[in-house]
Structure 1
Amino acid sequence: LDKVKKAAENAGLRPNSLTGTTFPSFSIGISDPSAIRMAGSYATFATSGKQNDPFSVKEVEYEGGSVWKHETDPKEAFTAPVADNVTDVLKTVVEDGTGTSAQLDGREVAGKTGTTDGNKSAWFVGYTPQLSTAVSMYRMDDDETKKSRPFLEMYGTGGQKTIHGASFPAEVWHDYMEQALKGEPAKNFPEAEPIGVVVNDLPTPSVTPTPTESEEEQ
């Protein structure tokens, strides 16, 4: 679990957004990171392991001149072979898994759906080689004066019996990305290199048992 936590932080998630790190379920997603951080973390895989912090202001101009520009400071979170293999796996989610509604015509897409217990939130986070986007859907009590505003169930929202990552979140992601990438050339992800070591690829066949005769009782 420590390695899972470290990988999440390296990808770009804030340590204070990671909860339940001592429980086995942590590895499949019980934390509450922001959508912008999730988009940024998935972008780390889109860039073959180079992590960049998300930012909101690109440039500040004053009296016709630029007085400040954001400068990226990429860090290697993962080696390129590791990151590209993650992308290769996440591509299958969109190609023939739970994220097929996020497919973009003529473009390679990698991503992952997510749905919490109790139907209280649903996600789709995905990326192309140029752009990473996260869509998070949930309900909260409208009373902002309440100190604690837990997520509410979403059963029946939008006329759907249940809400899951493959429904509204993936559909919203698809429609947004179609517009955001309009005019951008279609690019392919880097080819994933084989990693790891194959162990026992051709296992030794087990010996076929042979029957033995037993003496009949007299």
Structure 2
Amino acid sequence: MTSVLIVDDHPVILRGFRRIMEDAGVETVHEATDIVGGYRLFHRLRPGMVVADLTFRTGALAGLSLIRQIRALERDTRILAFSMHDDPVIVSRALESGATGYVLKDVPAAQFHAAFETVRAGRSYLDHDLATRVAVLGLAGQRAPLADLTARELQILSLLGRGQSYQTIADGLAVSYRTVIGASASLRHKLGVRTLAELIHVAVSQGEGGLTR
């Protein structure tokens, strides 16, 4: 494998990734800082491996759609999800979307390198702690608070948690104000809250473990 695509919107992450790739002997590293750019580069270059973040400035978990699109286009591409999310529900979603492995951003460089090399060799990767939590989640049939939300609902919940108004969210996501209102109503129903203030409280309380970087 001579080329890898990384999709992440943090310059520091991109610089660190290039150094690790040099140590791994990767000849060419392609970079994209958003979902659209990442998919376009992949479609044009077809690198053998993709390392993708899950969360971008536009909202929560947009990287899941990129993973699904890449997997639909090339079944054999090796995809490593690279994220700060340690919620087992989100890890499960990434794997179900087509990620070959999942590694957290706060791991030591040596552990990231091990994850990269494992996925590069065509094997799945998930560290023991995350694997255990994902397994327990599946065996128990547990439904976490965010488990039933759609990707769009997670995105809007994340933006509400950042203090954005309905109109700002609508403008940022290029959807109608009515769409955001409808999603908010659906979120309140699914999360068992009655008011916008309660919904925002849920968004903020979930932020550290499940919604924000």
TM bracket (short chain):
under 0.3
- Which of the pair has more CA radius of gyration? 1
- Greater strand content: 1
TM-score normalised by the chain length of structure 1: 0.24
- Greater helix content: 2
TM-score normalised by the chain length of structure 2: 0.25
